Amino acid sequence: MKINKLILVPTGITAFRIVLSILFLDLLINNMELIAILVFLLAVITDAFDGYYARKLGVSSDYGAYLDITADFILVLVAFLTFIIIGIYPYWLLILIILVFLQFILTSKLKVLVYDPVGKYYGAFLFAVILVTLISPPIFYGFLLIATLLFTTLSLISRYLFFIFRKTVEK
């Protein structure tokens, strides 16, 4: 089986986002907030470019889509883990976020996709929370925690209800 070398472009961009996630953790732990913000923004930008180039080069695949979601999850996981380590958020918030991603992975294996109007925006919401956490004063952390808790709970319930009632869309 011959592999199209063009697939290395979007796959490389996605892999780069994973590397940026680890760099982000190191920078934030070592109090290099401004550089950490720039690295995070670069990681978010790569999230847009990998899919764009996969489509433009005609190398979109289910594997690439799952790799993209995995890279997103790693970035979110690392960011919230870092926030927990430096004392911004409680550990249980990360557990809830992991549950949403696990629920997504388990229900995404279905032959007919489960439509989830809330989950569709969950990753973007978490990216926004990470960015606002990075640039806002600590007085906003409580609000961000509550907003994340509410949106995470809503996402879990929404996907569960749509799964139970089998409201599906064709791929």
pTM of the model: 0.86
* pLDDT of 65 above 80: no
Average pLDDT, the chain: 85
Do 100 and 154 contact (CB within 8 A), yes or no? no
Q: Which two tokens stand for residue 87?
A: 């004392």
DSSP class of residue 171? -
Q: Which long-range contacts (CB under 8 A, 24 or more apart) does 97-103 make?
A: 97/126, 97/148, 97/152, 99/156, 100/152, 100/155, 100/156, 100/159, 101/73, 101/76, 103/156, 103/159, 103/160
What domains are there in the chain, each with its CATH number?
1-87 (1.20.120.1760), 89-171 (no CATH)
Give CA–CA dist 8/16, Å, rounded. Answer: 11
Q: Which pLDDT band, with edges at 50, 70 and 90, does 30 fall under?
A: very high
